[in-house]
Chain A
Amino acid sequence: MLSSVSKYVLIFCLFTLGSCYLLKPKVQYFVKNSDQWTVQSNNEHYISFGDSLFLRETSNGTPKSFYQRFSTGVCFDNQCRPLDIILHWAISGRYLGFEMPKGEFLSKTDHDPFSRKEYLQLNEILSDDDLPFKDIKYHELMNQPESSTESADAISGATSERIKDIVVKNAAYTTYKLWKLVYGESQKFIEQYTEKHLNTSNLMTLLNSQDRNDVAWGLVHMKDTLSFSTPLKNRLLSLIQSEDYYLSYNAVHAIPKTNLNDSDFLETLFSTYLNTSDASTKNIIFRKLIAAPRLSENLLIKSRQSIPTMAPQEISSLLKLYEKHHVKDSVSLGTVRSLVKHPNPYVVNLAKSFLSKQ
């Protein structure tokens, strides 16, 4: 009888433990506003690089994201603890999140497992690519004596002031190790791979991303050789005219040389030049106009019409543009001649100097 009860108790315990294991949610955290589809496994293909880094692709071959499984250790105080984790990146190399194999979890120096709050904090830390970890060495994570070299190997146990706000409490080494993995060689490889294989389709994926870091990455890595399709041209223009001055500045930078032949595009660019209040974007647009092979008649008309409302420094830029493009038509020269009567002697001198070179 007793043995029968024990048997039932044993079965119950095993069932409970099994249920706990099966029902226990898998540890996985992803960055806010990430394109969830990038990390979901639906109808996708994989390309492997070595035995642990993979590129996920859609069935039609569009790259989605990268992931890598790390089975490594976090070592301190002469002890190493295993770390089994999968890290995810966008194709731009941006950190997307992490997950752990079923049953795995992260723990702190006192062996307590991470709480949900701590996982969320870790996820936030890992999503920040600009932490001082990149300049900190492993042994600097804990306080060291100020000036003596003799006891530099001794670790006080207290987290260094420099990093205490950017690590999960009692998990400085784990936080540091994971951050270094996120922003280490794999990320470099991903960026290089994407840059090498960047085509108009991949680029459009990046430029249409909900995350502005992906958009900025796409702009910075855009190549002159890419086919400048109408959707790409339109997307670039919308970014140039956006309120986000950093994206706007980089979008102008990204305009391929080949597209400087497009007179409609240049005219829109010139209108943006006249209307934008961002000095950096204005400056770069001016450089693009200078680099264009020719200026259309419409653009010249618009430029002449704008002169009366232009500030002296803008007139200076415009005259440089005329000089570069050898603008010598009688109407334009007439407009410049009228500047000789400008109330500002500086503008008068600019006009005279321009005319003397004709």
Chain B
Amino acid sequence: MSRSNKIKRRAWLKSIGSFSLVAGLPTALHAESLVKPYQVKESFSETDILVVGGGTAGCIAAIQAGRTGAKTTLIESGSQLGGCTTTGGVSFPGIFHAWGKQIIGGIGWELVIDAVELNGDQLPDFTKKPKSHWKHQVAVNPALYVMLAEEKCLEAGVDIRYYETPTSVKFENGKWLVESTGKGVKTIISAKQLIDCTGNALIASMAGYKVLRENETQPGSLVYSMGGYDFDQLDLSKIPKRFHRALHQNMLTSQIRKTGENTFVPYGYVYVNGADSTTSETHTMANQKGRQNLLRLIRELRELPGCENIRITSMKTETAVRETFRIDGMYKITKDDYVSGRLHEDALSYSFYPVDLHRDGKSIYQEFLKPNIVASIPMRALIPKNSKNFLVAGRCLSSDRLANSALRVQASCMGMGQAAAVTASLSIQEGVTPAKITPDLVKKRLKQYGAIVPS
């Protein structure tokens, strides 16, 4: 082929290319078409165990339910799992150890240790009695926790439904029919067993079971962190004492890495009085109040000497809530039960924390457990009175207010989540309602799944 022929051929190919581009352009520019008005997608699905709420207790319950082989569905109103541990920013779950021994293990601990390891952090020495109880809480990277919890749910075959919330709950012909509504979807889910992990007993209440609430509840907390100042260089004698706590942000042992580099902390929080996450309306109000309080604090802090350049470095998207509704259960755990470490025959999980009532946003009533005392959670406290095929896990368990102020913490909720899921699974297997299950059977199964069972 001569050189001139080559050039001609190249020019010809080029012209073809240009033609194709020009020919394709109008199509690309006018690729859109009118779309029919969106019709809410309606569907029906059947599951064995339906867990509502993918928070601290709920994601553990769902993973455990899936691992028992039960077909499991998890409804979560937000966009990620973990609840207070992640979205709420209380990313230091506890307490898993008491008096030198581990008292809560299982899936909750599995997630915590996975998150700790993947973040290159190190565990505190739990054999040493801490000066402050919270020093045995373990800091986790919330982003990692979210992903690990989701990965474990998916591995266990859990059908996760984000952005949804139940709008009706009915018990018909021995099964629960739950209408779940989310962005552009409405699903009727038929479930053999229902576990309410909303933390607010919302599903128990919708199902018609009695729930209780204090006239005045504990405040919530909006978690944030700040930068732009050096605490060690501040002259605290020139700063009113009420700001000291805000300026002295917290740090946990497991957040101090060998390299000296910190992970996601320090952190602080502002109180949000009356915070309630039960409904969209109350939760919206709690979030707004939290943000307003934080904005006010930041403005005040910037007036203080040495704090002129203070800035927010992170803020959680939701106010974390301490107390709303509790179920009226087959057994109500009392404060005396808790502080005396009463061991119930049907105890499925331990709980260890001081009685810890944040009263008015300014003071905390605390009562520490005496040496070697560890509280336990009976199965009956997870079952609403006169209920069928229904359990709760998390802070809405049946308990009086002071006991609840200790039971509400994350490790205890994780233990409950695992216990409730095993109970629900065995109920299906045995064909009876949870109240009729022999607790020893549940305990034996829980041990198989790595949980620590009171004895």
Contacts and interface: CB of A to CB of B under 8 A. Distances in A.
Interface of A: 130-132, 135, 137, 139-140, 144-149, 152-153, 216, 220, 244-246, 249, 278-280, 283-284, 287, 311-313, 316, 343-350
Nearest to B448: A311
Interface stretch (B159-167, B183-191, B221-229, B238-246): B238-246
The SS class assigned to the A binding surface is: helix
Interface stretch (B110-118, B142-150, B330-338, B433-441): B110-118
Contact of B157 (A140, A152, A346): A346
Contacts of A313: 67, 107, 110, 449-450
A287 B116 CA distance: 13
B237 interface: yes
B236 interface: yes
A149 B240 contact: yes
B155 interface: yes
A346 B236 contact: no
Contact of A148 (B105, B155, B240, B448): B240
Contacts of B102: 245, 278-279
Given A220-B122, A244-B127, A287-B117, 18 more contacts: A135-B248, A137-B236, A139-B237, A147-B242, A149-B237, A152-B238, A220-B258, A278-B102, A279-B450, A283-B114, A312-B67, A312-B69, A313-B107, A345-B157, A346-B156, A346-B157, A347-B69, A350-B155
Contacts of B448: 311
Contact of B241 (A139, A144, A345, A349): A144
B117 A283 contact: yes
Contact of A246 (B126, B156, B237): B126
18 contacts: A130-B128, A145-B241, A146-B242, A244-B127, A246-B123, A246-B127, A279-B110, A280-B113, A283-B110, A283-B114, A311-B449, A312-B68, A313-B449, A344-B67, A345-B69, A346-B66, A346-B67, A348-B69
B109 interface: yes
B236 A139 contact: yes
Contacts of B114: 283
A343 B445 CA distance: 14
Contacts of B113: 279-280, 283
A132 B450 CA distance: 36
Interface string B122-133: 110111101100
Nearest to A244: B127
B238 A149 contact: yes
Contacts of A344: 67-69
Contacts of B155: 316, 350
Nearest to A311: B448
Contacts of A130: 128, 130-131, 135
Select the residue from B66, B114, B241 with max chain A CB neighbours within 10 A: B241
A249 B450 contact: no
B237 A153 contact: yes
Contacts of B135: 130
Nearest to A320: B155
Contacts of A148: 240
Nearest to B232: A137
Contacts of B241: 144-147
Contacts of A348: 69
A68 B351 CA distance: 46
Contacts of B123: 246, 249, 280
Contacts of B450: 279, 311, 313
Nearest to B71: A345
A112 B86 CA distance: 54
A343 B448 CA distance: 15
A245 to B, nearest CB: 7
A257 to B, nearest CB: 15
A245 B128 CA distance: 12
A312 B152 CA distance: 13
Interface in B258-305: 258
Nearest to B101: A245
A214 to B, nearest CB: 13
A190 B80 CA distance: 45
A57 B18 CA distance: 83
B453 to A, nearest CB: 12
A346 B69 contact: yes
* The 9 A-B residue pairs with the shortest CB-CB distance in the complex, in nearest-first order: A345-B69, A152-B237, A344-B69, A346-B69, A283-B113, A246-B125, A279-B105, A311-B448, A147-B240
A145 B240 CA distance: 9
Nearest to A195: B258
Nearest to B135: A130
B154 to A, nearest CB: 11
A147 B362 CA distance: 14
Given A279-B109, A349-B157, A216 B69 contact: no
Nearest to B130: A130
Contacts of A280: 109, 113, 123
A239 B23 CA distance: 74
A318 to B, nearest CB: 14
B151 to A, nearest CB: 12
B237 A144 contact: yes
B182 to A, nearest CB: 26
A131 B240 CA distance: 24
Select the residue from B109, B113, B258 with max chain A CB neighbours within 10 A: B113
A216 B258 CA distance: 13
A246 B123 CA distance: 9
A152 B237 CA distance: 5
Interface in B67-126: 67-69, 102, 105-107, 109-110, 113-114, 117, 122-123, 125-126
A286 B123 CA distance: 17
Nearest to A135: B248
A153 B242 CA distance: 17
B430 to A, nearest CB: 15
A152 B239 CA distance: 9
Nearest to A283: B113
Contacts of B67: 312-313, 344, 346
B104 to A, nearest CB: 10
Nearest to B127: A246
A214 B359 CA distance: 43
Select the residue from A147, A246, A343 with max chain B CB neighbours within 10 A: A246
Contact of B127 (A245, A312, A345): A245
A343 B114 CA distance: 28
B262 to A, nearest CB: 15
A200 B418 CA distance: 44
Contacts of A140: 236
Interface in B200-249: 236-242, 248
A284 B117 contact: yes
A349 to B, nearest CB: 6
Given A246-B127, A278-B102, A283-B117, A346 B68 contact: yes
A19 to B, nearest CB: 45
Nearest to B237: A152
Nearest to A146: B241
Nearest to B239: A149
Select the residue from A145, A246, A279 with max chain B CB neighbours within 10 A: A279
B236 A132 contact: no
